Amino acid sequence: RRTETDLASALEDGEFELFYQPFVNVIQQTISGFEALIRWRHPQRGQISPAEFIPIAEEVGQIAPIGLWVLETACRQAMHWPSPLSVSVNLSPVQFREATLFADVRRILKETGLPPGRLQLEITESVLLHDTESVLAVLRGFRKLGIRISMDDFGTGYSSLGYLSRFPFDKVKIDQSFVRDLAKRENLAVVRAVIGLSKAMGIGVIAEGVETAEQRDLLLAESCDEMQGYYFSKPRPVTEVAAFLEAFN
Ligand code: G
Ligand code: G
Ligand code: NA
Ligand code: MN
């Protein structure tokens, strides 16, 4: 089980694939875009979860090439979707250590032709823990190009609130751990506070991990209109995106 050594050849052997999970505006009944989620079809071990291999890729220095493959593939595939549907790509904190990250993203947009306004990048607050000034400079550069930036897994890190004021995020993604048990008073309180704070700051909010109609209704009652989760759709292969959009309309 040599995940490290297998990772090195997985890219050139074409073993990665992107799945897509929609963002749903529940009030308008529209899809605003899809999040790209990487999958690894290992020839011997079958599907390996990114939860397992992304941390290893970060450790062994493979996340930079894999991350660029994800960006390039997501932008290229999103070019086939009706405008203005966006694609949202997860960036690892480790990718920010590459001095070329900004130039790489700009080059990929140019090469694929995807308008920057149709690309979103998802970062976690851990990105802002180290070398904050250089990270902020890169994030500002992205935004200047017209790329939108989301804060992912919001509420799971520490000092989350401070980070929101340090950078003009476009959107906050409420972590699924809070959505899972909204009947718990503490969770509902966190969700309510995040929604209130985001709205006061002019930041969009999306709830992740919505699995039931009950969760959907509780979130709607809190004025959270945008959601993502198995209730609406699991992540699906790119070949199913067109049919999903057709069926949703
Ligand atoms: O898709 P799934 O729920 O199995 O993803 C598990 C974890 O892997 C999540 O934390 C998700 O953000 C992360 N992940 C999925 N795709 C990517 C990717 O392309 N890049 C990075 N850095 N993380 C990803
Ligand atoms: O860290 P990030 O938020 O990017 O991780 C997204 C992960 O959550 C992906 O692995 C995706 O497959 C998973 N996911 C998406 N929707 C749901 C859901 O409704 N329930 C659960 N349990 N996981 C979900
Ligand atoms: Na994400
Ligand atoms: Mn998330």
Domain membership of residue 71 (yes or no) is: yes
Q: Is the pTM of this model over 0.95?
A: yes
Complex ipTM over 0.90: yes
Domain membership of residue 227 (yes or no) is: no
* Nearest CA residue ID for atom 1, ligand 2: 153
Domain membership of residue 80 (yes or no) is: yes
Domain membership of residue 184 (yes or no) is: no
**Ligand sitting nearest the alpha carbon of 62:** 1
C-beta of 233 in contact with ligand 2 (< 6 A): no
C-beta of 52 in contact with ligand 1 (< 6 A): no
Helix (H/G/I), strand (E/B), else coil: 39: strand
How many structural domains comprise the chain? 1
pLDDT digits (tens, 9 = 90+) for 63-100: 999 999 999 999 999 999 999 999 999 999 999 999 99
Residue type (1 letter), 59: E
Q: Which atom of ligand 2 is nearest to the CA of 124?
A: 1
C-alpha R_g of the chain: 18
Backbone phi and psi for residue 33, each to the nearest 5 degrees, phi listed first: 170, -170
**Ligand sitting nearest the alpha carbon of 229:** 2
Distance between alpha carbon 130 and the CA centroid of its chain, in Å? 21
Q: Residue 102: which domain range?
A: 3-176+234-248
Domain membership of residue 214 (yes or no) is: no
pLDDT on residue 181? 92
Class of residue 113 by CB neighbours under 10 A (exposed 0-12, middle 13-18, buried 19+)? exposed
Domain membership of residue 197 (yes or no) is: no
Region 196-223 average pLDDT: 96
C-beta of 198 in contact with ligand 2 (< 6 A): no
* Nearest CA residue ID for atom 22, ligand 2: 209
181 in Cβ contact with 175 (< 8 Å): no
CATH number at residue 128: 3.20.20.450
C-beta of 176 in contact with ligand 2 (< 6 A): yes
> What is the band of 182 on the pLDDT scale with cuts at 50, 70, 90?
very high
Residues 6+ apart with CB under 8 A from 248: 22, 31
C-beta of 120 in contact with ligand 2 (< 6 A): no
Region 208-215 average pLDDT: 98
The Cα–Cα gap between 205 and 174 comes to: 7
Rounded distance from Cα 153 to ligand 2 centre (Å): 10
> What is the band of 1 on the pLDDT scale with cuts at 50, 70, 90?
low
pLDDT on residue 8? 87
> If you average pLDDT over every residue of the chain, what do you get?
95
Domain membership of residue 156 (yes or no) is: yes
Domain membership of residue 91 (yes or no) is: yes
pLDDT digits (tens, 9 = 90+) for 105-149: 999 999 999 999 999 999 998 898 888 899 999 999 999 999 999
Rounded distance from Cα 50 to ligand 1 centre (Å): 5
